[in-house]
């Protein structure tokens, strides 16, 4: 479409004044923020001081790092510590080093200074967080020069350095949504500055597309080259007016519907925004409302499946309810591990013969390889299995015993404790052990237009590590996980850790004596259960874990 045709379309659209105003859902996984965006702007940064006269090199370097905690007026205070020739070259938007602990300073007579950081995470320019090991020091260099008799920085790392508490105060997470090839919404957590430009940050991130972690597994529906035609997204009477460049006119009806879905879900829960409009250079376009309820996490399971005293069923309130058509078949297989489908209508069962699929109609063997670990079932019905006899290969099978094999070479030289699909089937994670300890690794799942798994993303992201040996893990949602690892303490205690992929920092959640397996529940709400010593099932209570049921043989996972 030429620019002339686009201009003609814009003129006609201006005459028609077609309205595309979509309502942002007021419920879902994203928590509500501050009630007024102005509060975000006022409280989003600290009030550091500029350089003082006669300051030495160390004072200038440390002052610059502190000043970069404030993004007010384009990091105005931080730039005062820079030499005039470098002040405009320094780019604070290229990322964040999140530091834990003291910053050790060293300098040389040549004007070169080094800060040794203990980085617990980095955030790239797109807002994607990658955990790091703070025990391994990271050196960042600064060059200093005299400007009118005062020390100033003439070269510094792009991006900013923040301690963890300051980072948590001035940055926040948002859940963005992209499209899979089979048109499902794929959530991805990103970090953004807490300020009134949040709508603009979100829309720009959607335009840039998914991160490397799910690139290939998801995409943005916006036509290539689309940008915002204005610097910021204006919010008027709780309506975000999103004004795009003319490339947006290349979107057909199906693409416009997909774009609307992305915006609806990504702006969901944003303070001060209840509606949005899509415009091109000031002219509001005609777009449709999107039904997105089917894309929200499925299942409000208030009970968990388990085996107790040789019987299998749903446990709730201390009692066990058999699952019609399933329980007896599962028990007959003498299971070592059970994974229920998200709708609880079928199960993948691991026993001494391999992995079998159990439905209300039949039981059928799917994978008879030896040395298998607990399987997964995704929402599209594919059963995922992994055997240590074929390291580096994972199978995705259908109920009619057709399978595709996907390469996972990054699992070839490690000991695999568990592999599972996320609840939305968009990510594959593995809990492994190598010579350095426990690692939690995540990749994206690439599917074709019908949902068939055809590959994994090239990016393998290390999301967590621990010095203790791995035990088990499960997904709580498409982004959140819970895992068990050995504490190394007497009594065989298992440490419980809860984290988010590229999101909030993983946090310890107590220990369970003899903890051997964990379930995240598989529903919208975390329904955490840990199987501990003496066949007791534990549930979270306060900051610890409380036994809730005895004589439990195994706890089933969902998905």
Q: For residue 210, which phi and psi values (nearest 5 degrees)?
A: -70, 160
- Residue 364 banded pLDDT, cuts 50, 70, 90: very high
Q: Which residue has the higher pLDDT, 160 or 37?
A: 160
Asked if residue 144 has pLDDT above 50, the reply is yes
* Pick from 445, 451, 449, 360: nearest CA to 398: 451
CA proximity to 117, closest of 130, 143, 135, 95: 135
Element at 548 (helix H, strand E)? strand 544-549
Specify whether the CB–CB gap between 369 and 387 falls below 8 A: yes
**Residue 323 pLDDT > 50, yes or no?**
yes
Between 21-25, 56-60, 224-228, the lowest mean confidence (pLDDT) is in 21-25
Same fold, 45-169 and 304-558: no
- CA 61/CA 65 separation, integer angstroms: 6
Six token digits for residue 528: 């955490």
Half-sphere exposure of 120 (CA within 13 A, CB side): 18
Q: Which fold has domain 304-558?
A: Neuraminidase (2.120.10)
Residue 400: per-residue pLDDT? 83
In the three-class reduction of DSSP (H, G, I as helix; E, B as strand; rest coil), residue 262 is classed as helix
Q: What is the mean pLDDT of residues 369-389?
A: 94
pTM of the complete model: 0.85
Confidence at 468, pLDDT banded by 50, 70, 90: confident
Edge-to-edge order in the sheet of strand 480-486? 470-475, 480-486, 493-500, 507-513
Q: Report the pLDDT value the prediction gives residue 302, as an integer from 0 to 100.
A: 60
Name which residue leads in pLDDT, 7 or 316: 316
CATH number of 45-169: 3.10.450
Give me the DSSP letters along 102-124: --EEEE-TTSEEEEEE-EEEEEE
- Say which DSSP state 260 is in: H
pLDDT digits (tens, 9 = 90+) for 100-120: 989 999 987 777 999 999 999
- For the residues 199-210, what does the mean pLDDT come to? 95
Q: What secondary structure, in 3-state letters, does 332-399 show?
A: HCCCCEEEECCCCCEEEEEECCEEEEEECCCEEEEECCCCECCCEECCCCCEEECECCCCCEEEEECC
Whether the CB-CB separation of 187 and 479 falls below 8 Å is answered with yes
Give the pLDDT of residue 90.
Answer: 96
* 509-532 mean pLDDT: 86
**Higher model confidence: residue 307 or residue 423?**
307
Give the chain's mean pLDDT. 86
pLDDT digits (tens, 9 = 90+) for 258-291: 999 999 999 998 888 888 999 999 888 864 333 2
The domain locations on the chain are 3-40+194-295, 45-169, 304-558
Query: What are the tens digits of pLDDT across the range 415-452?
Result: 999 999 998 899 999 999 988 889 999 999 999 999 99
């Amino acid at each position: 479409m030429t620019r002339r045709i686009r201009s003609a379309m814009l003129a006609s659209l201006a005459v028609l004044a077609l309205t595309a105003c979509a309502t942002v859902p007021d419920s879902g996984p994203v928590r509500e923020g501050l009630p007024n965006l102005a509060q975000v702007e006022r409280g989003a940064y600290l009030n550091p001081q500029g350089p003082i006269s006669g300051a030495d090199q160390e004072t200038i370097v440390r002052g610059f790092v502190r000043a970069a905690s404030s993004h007010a007026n384009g990091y105005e205070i931080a730039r005062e510590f820079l030499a005039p020739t470098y002040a405009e070259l320094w780019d604070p938007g290229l990322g964040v080093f999140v530091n834990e602990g003291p910053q050790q300073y060293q300098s040389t007579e040549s004007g070169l200074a080094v800060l040794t950081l203990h980085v617990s995470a980095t955030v790239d320019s797109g807002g994607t967080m990658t955990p790091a090991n703070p025990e391994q020091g990271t050196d960042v260099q600064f060059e200093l020069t005299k400007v009118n008799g005062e020390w100033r920085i003439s070269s510094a790392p792009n991006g900013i350095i923040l301690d963890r508490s300051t980072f948590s105060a001035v940055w926040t997470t948002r859940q963005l949504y992209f499209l899979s090839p089979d048109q499902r919404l794929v959530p991805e957590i990103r970090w953004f500055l807490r300020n009134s430009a949040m709508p603009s940050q979100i829309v720009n991130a959607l335009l840039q597309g998914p991160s490397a972690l799910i690139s290939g597994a998801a995409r943005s529906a916006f036509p290539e080259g689309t940008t915002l035609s204005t610097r910021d997204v204006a919010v008027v009477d709780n309506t975000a007016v999103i004004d795009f460049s003319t490339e947006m006119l290349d979107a057909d009806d199906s693409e416009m519907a997909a774009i609307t879905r992305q915006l609806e879900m990504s702006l969901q829960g944003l303070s001060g925004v209840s509606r949005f409009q899509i415009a091109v250079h000031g002219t509001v376009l005609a777009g449709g409302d999107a039904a997105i309820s089917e894309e929200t996490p499925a299942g409000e399971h208030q009970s968990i499946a388990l085996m107790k005293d040789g019987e299998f069923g749903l446990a709730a309130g201390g009692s066990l309810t058999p699952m019609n058509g399933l329980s007896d078949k599962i028990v007959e297989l003498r299971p070592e591990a059970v994974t229920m489908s998200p709708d609880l209508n079928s199960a993948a069962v691991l026993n001494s013969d391999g992995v079998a699929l159990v439905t209300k109609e039949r039981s059928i063997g799917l994978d008879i390889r030896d040395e298998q670990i607990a399987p997964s079932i995704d929402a599209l019905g594919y059963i995922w299995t992994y055997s240590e006899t074929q390291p580096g290969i994972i199978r995705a099978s259908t109920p009619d015993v057709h399978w595709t094999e996907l390469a996972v070479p990054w699992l070839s030289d490690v000991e695999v404790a568990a592999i599972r699909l996320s609840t939305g089937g968009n990510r594959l994670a593995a809990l492994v052990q190598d010579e350095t300890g426990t690692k939690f690794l995540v990749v994206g799942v690439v599917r074709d237009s019908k949902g068939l798994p055809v590959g994994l993303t090239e990016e393998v992201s290390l999301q967590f590590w621990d010095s203790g040996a791995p035990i088990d893990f499960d997904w709580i949602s498409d982004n959140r996980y819970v895992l068990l690892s050995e504490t190394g303490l007497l009594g065989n205690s298992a440490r419980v850790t809860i984290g988010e992929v590229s999101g909030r920092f993983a946090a310890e959640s107590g220990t369970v004596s003899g903890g051997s397996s964990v379930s995240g529940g598989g529903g919208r709400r975390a329904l955490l259960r840990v199987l501990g010593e003496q066949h007791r099932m534990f549930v979270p209570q306060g900051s610890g874990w409380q036994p809730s049921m005895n004589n439990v043989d195994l706890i089933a996972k969902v998905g």
